[in-house]
Amino acid sequence: MATVENVRLDIKASAKKPGFSDIFYSYELHPGETDCAAQREFVVTVGLWGEDMLDDDVLATDLDMHTVQCSDAAPAVPIKVERVFEVETKLLDEDLVGDDEVFLIVEASSGTERVSGKSNTVVGYF
């Protein structure tokens, strides 16, 4: 079975577009052995979440869809992925008062299985 590990998130205000933020993230997809033998392709999407005391809020899902191919030449070697996309900064405004706590969840689906990993939480004032 595959796993998603070491999900890291960083958020910076866009230098080019006022009102937008760049979402930098990285993760490792650790394929299972059968994934590589089958050269399985994973469809990956990410969701942004706001951390709250009781229930976390989903801010957006199905963002930044991309695919990661597992190669049988390098079985069971973690595949490192680094990506960036932009969102409107107001999307990240998950709390009306005080700081906003935003984290990201990476979801990878191979068709036969669906695995996910959660990032660190970025605290900001969005």
Give the nearer residue to Ca ion in terms of CB position, either 3 or 89.
89
* Residue 34 or 89 with smaller CB distance to Ca ion: 89
Per the structure block, which two tokens stand in for 56? 């976390």
Query: Which H/E stretch holds residue 33?
Result: helix 33-37
List residues binding Ca ion (CB under 5 A).
52, 93, 95, 100-101
Provide, rounded to whole angstroms, the least separation between the CB of residue 58 and Ca ion: 12
Kindly tell me which of 18 and 98 has the beta carbon lying closer to Ca ion.
98
- Exposed/middle/buried for 122, CB within 10 Å: 0-12, 13-18, 19+? buried
Considering the complex, what minimum distance in angstroms separates the CB of residue 122 from Ca ion? 11
For the chain, give the number of residues.
126
Smallest separation (angstroms) from Ca ion to the CB of 60:
15
- The smaller minimum CB distance to Ca ion, of residues 4 and 104, is found at 104
* Strand locations in the chain (E): 3-13, 20-30, 41-50, 57-69, 79-88, 100-109, 114-118, 122-124
Minimum Å gap between C-beta 107 and Ca ion is: 21
- What is the DSSP secondary structure assignment for residue 19, as one 8-state letter? T
